[in-house]
Amino acid sequence: MSMAKRTKLFLAGGAATLVVGLGTGLVASYMGLQGLTVLGGGGPSEFAYVPADSSFLAYADIRDVMDSELRRRLTDLQPAAGEGAERFRTDTGIDLERDIDYLVAAASAPEADASGDAAMPGPPLILARGRFDQVRLEGLIRDRGGVVEDYAGTRLLVQERLAVGFLEPDLVAIGTPAGVRRAIDTKASGLSVRGNDELMGIVRDIDDGDAWAVARFDSLTTARLPAEVVAQLPAIRWFSASGFIGAGVEGQLRVETRDEAGAEDLRQVIQGVLALARMQAGQHAGLGDAVNALQIGGQGTTVSLSFSVPPELIDVVIGMRSNEQALWLVPHVVPGLLVTPIPGL
């Protein structure tokens, strides 16, 4: 007795689905489709100035952040914060709300000093895309003892520890003199961070946020923490964070561990802490929602923690802050009336 025709057809259909699905995945992984991603996933054009050995890379869409509802509400809460921005505009001619579109920041891992200890990392290279008054900036830096020099056809304003380079009509590099010169060299050589597959792979995963940052974990910890503490940290290779800013904030923290066992251990630790936090936060409605919004994820060597700060929670925080300010005002407004402010009320 042999199988009925419809049974054979069904089995062949099921097997074909598996084969086509796995084949498509295989092709997507190793041949053509990944290339499509690479074509569109090279990051901002400023990456051409970022050296390939960078251990830290960050991006912030200043326009989105400045235009966000969250920023507007925070500004309303602290009107004095605008005075600093106004002073900056007077000095430099740069209106932070309108003149800067986005920033890219990068830093390379510090080299070890003569004793073999890792040195503290220097200031990062900042690449700002926007509209800048070159003459005004040049005058400002000259007034403060800076000199103008030409480096590989690019005009640099150099102080002792700070340099500003006008790389393109609407692109400015700010950093140490050596850092800015290296950025110019990187662009000329074509050996930019785009050739760093490991770093760019992580960037491609997170670069859809308003702001994101990727850093090699040892570059963050080695110079700042004692060796005994570093030895106790989990085997993490990369740390990244990304976020969307609107009326609230949504984001994701992510680490890449050296092996899957390390990732699994880390997931279990976070999972336990989250579960404990949920039990503790159950009595407070606002806090409970925030803790419930924490979601652990990731696979393989990736561990991620997603979070969301909804507008309602920000309202609560703003409300608490307003109440706090109001209570602090009472003793000053009504002399002689003794009122003890209750922080957090």
User: Applying CB under 8 A, does 36 fall inside the site for another protein?
Assistant: yes
Least CB distance to another protein at residue 287 (A)? 13
CA dist., res. 15 & res. 304, Å (int):
34
Least CB distance to another protein at residue 177 (A)? 39
Q: Which of 21, 84, 195, 319 binds another protein (CB under 8 A)?
A: 21
Which residue type sits at 260? Answer: E
In this structure, which long-range contacts are made by residues 310-317, counting pairs with CB atoms below 8 Å and at least 24 apart in sequence? 310/248, 311/69, 311/70, 311/247, 311/248, 312/286, 313/248, 313/286, 313/289, 314/70, 314/73, 314/247, 314/248, 314/249, 316/286
Q: Which stretch binds another protein (CB under 8 A): 91-99, 231-239, 267-275, 332-340?
A: 267-275
User: Applying CB under 8 A, does 4 fall inside the site for another protein?
Assistant: yes
Residue pointed to by tokens 């919004």: 293
Strand order in the sheet with 302-309: 147-151, 154-158, 163-168, 171-175, 125-130, 100-108, 54-60, 211-216, 236-245, 249-257, 302-309, 295-297
Scan residues 299-318 and list those touching another protein (CB under 8 A): 299-300, 303-304, 306-308, 310
Least CB distance to another protein at residue 27 (A)? 9
In this structure, which long-range contacts are made by residues 146-151, counting pairs with CB atoms below 8 Å and at least 24 apart in sequence? 151/180, 151/181, 151/184
CA dist., res. 77 & res. 11, Å (int):
65
User: Applying CB under 8 A, does 15 fall inside the site for another protein?
Assistant: yes
Whole-Å CA distances, 6 to 1, 15, 30, 81, 230: 15, 14, 36, 74, 63
> Is 52:199 a contact under the CB 8 Å cutoff?
no
Scan residues 177-196 and list those touching another protein (CB under 8 A): none
User: Applying CB under 8 A, does 204 fall inside the site for another protein?
Assistant: yes
Q: Which of 120, 152, 279, 339 binds another protein (CB under 8 A)?
A: 279
Which residue type sits at 173? Answer: A
Q: Which of 24, 189, 322, 325 binds another protein (CB under 8 A)?
A: 24
> Is 289:248 a contact under the CB 8 Å cutoff?
no
Nearer to another protein, 41 or 139 (CB): 41
User: Applying CB under 8 A, does 297 fall inside the site for another protein?
Assistant: yes
Report the chain's C-alpha Rg in angstroms. Answer: 26
User: Applying CB under 8 A, does 253 fall inside the site for another protein?
Assistant: no
Q: Which stretch binds another protein (CB under 8 A): 32-40, 46-54, 155-163, 189-197?
A: 32-40
User: What would the two tokens of residue 16 be?
Assistant: 């074909």
Q: Which of 274, 314, 318, 320 binds another protein (CB under 8 A)?
A: 274
Nearer to another protein, 208 or 228 (CB): 208
Q: Which stretch binds another protein (CB under 8 A): 17-25, 59-67, 231-239, 326-334?
A: 17-25
Nearer to another protein, 29 or 232 (CB): 29
> What 3-state DSSP class applies to 200?
helix
User: Applying CB under 8 A, does 3 fall inside the site for another protein?
Assistant: yes
Q: Would you tell me which residues interact with another protein (CB under 8 A)?
A: 1-4, 6-7, 10-11, 14-15, 17-18, 21-22, 24-26, 28-30, 33-34, 36-37, 40-41, 201, 204-205, 244, 250, 252, 260, 264, 267-268, 271-272, 274-276, 278-279, 289, 292-300, 303-304, 306-308, 310
